[in-house]
Amino acid sequence: MTQEKPLLPGATIGVIGGGQLGRMFAMAARRMGYRVHIFSPDKDGPAAQFSDHATVASYDDEAEVTQFAQAVDVLTFEFENIPAATIEWASRDQIVRPRGEILLIAQNRLREKEFLSGAGFPVAPFRRVGSDANLTNALEAIRRPAILKGGAFGYDGKGQQRIDPGTDLTAVWAARQDDECILESVIDFEKEISVIVARGLDGAMAVFPVCENIHREHILDVTLAPARIDDRVAAAARELACAVAGSLDLVGLLAVEMFLKSDGEIIINELAPRPHNSGHWTIEGCVTSQFEQHVRAVCGLPLGATELLRPAAMVNLLGSVWHGGEPHWAAALAETNVRLHLYGKREPRPGRKMGHLTSLAGTVEAAATSALRARERLRA
């Protein structure tokens, strides 16, 4: 099953997962001449709308997963919350990039932190928690404030609870539905930043500019590129991301989310071995988008250039934008340097990512002003 020769246009790329990341990946792959086959339980999801083929089946359906894997030339995924058995079944019949072992690390916060810590990478102090007694003991070591997180399948702040002085630990644990959790120290950070790095079959790496992320209610709201940080800090963040990718023996794309402390220290928060929300601006803002780069990496092609074309800002469009009716698209696009991306989701819900806006300008501040103004006009 080892494939060292490049998969050329005309080959079929299989994608497990049917959301917006798969959609934008499929758009990049098809533009390059590849065929795309999506596997997802959701019929007519965002990715299926731009794919050549779509298998609608449960991730727990071994026969369907096996048939899907046999029908493609290489397999990748667009999110982490995939059962381990699904990746195991697929790996029996197909090359999976990034490797299934990387997915298993990234989909479990505890395994992720243990991997990073064991490899010597900077992470927040943490402890494994499996009972209320464990929680009490862990807090004695970690101290308050701390964050209690579910061990697996978490994103956008789901399954997280802050523990401050005075928080009732018995009530906290009683409300949990996880058998295993992780307790992390709260990091007093100045900025949240992320780095997206690609690594090819030959070990070559290409790193995108460091971007700055602003969250609202645990969901990414605005991304600025380049990040408003010192050049030395940016270089250290890029170097750190490359080191993580190398230690994972990654083939594909990796997003490394980090906390930047006021003294310049960088702490790794999370890993995502796939295209990432904080890299959407690369579609307009870089020579090669994160989605094309992922295509190149998983197909064994040379990686593309990652130079920033102009300062960029990306703002997410959540379901709340539709509150009160259809958004005013024409008003938003009166900001002529703003680009609109909608994900083809039928039902807007609070907190659901429905699309994004990207703006390019002479400065990152000007780009952000334009993108935010366009989003406000959607509600006008």
**215 lies in the same domain as 348:** yes
Q: How many domains does the chain have?
A: 3
β-pairing, 219-225 with 312-318?
Answer: antiparallel
**169 lies in the same domain as 195:** no
- How far is the CA of 312 from the CAs of 21, 214, 233, 366, in angstroms? 19, 14, 19, 9
**199 lies in the same domain as 347:** yes
**51 lies in the same domain as 134:** no
CATH number of the structural domain spanning residue 220: 3.30.470.20
pTM of the model: 0.95
**331 lies in the same domain as 217:** yes
| CA terminus-to-terminus distance, the chain | 55
Q: Per-residue pLDDT for the chain (380 aa), expressed as one digit of tens each?
A: 445 789 999 999 999 999 999 999 999 999 999 999 999 999 999 999 999 999 999 999 999 999 999 999 999 999 998 999 999 999 998 999 999 999 999 999 999 999 999 999 999 999 999 888 889 899 999 999 999 998 775 555 567 889 999 898 888 888 888 878 999 999 999 999 999 999 999 999 999 999 999 999 999 999 999 999 999 999 999 999 999 999 999 999 999 999 999 999 999 999 999 999 999 999 999 999 999 999 999 999 999 999 999 999 999 999 999 998 999 999 999 999 999 999 999 999 999 999 999 999 999 999 999 999 999 999 87
**Strand, coil or helix: 153:** coil
Residue type, 99: R
| 48, part of any domain | yes
331: Cβ contacts below 8 Å, ≥ 6 apart: 377, 378, 380
Tell me the residue range of the domain where 68 lies.
12-96
Give the per-residue pLDDT at 127: 94
- Distance from C-alpha of 111 to C-alpha of 370, rounded to nearest angstrom: 40
Give the per-residue pLDDT at 68: 98
**163 lies in the same domain as 198:** no
- Distance from C-alpha of 281 to C-alpha of 370, rounded to nearest angstrom: 14
| 172, part of any domain | yes
Looking at 170, 185, 200, which one is the last position of a domain? Answer: 185
**207 lies in the same domain as 356:** yes
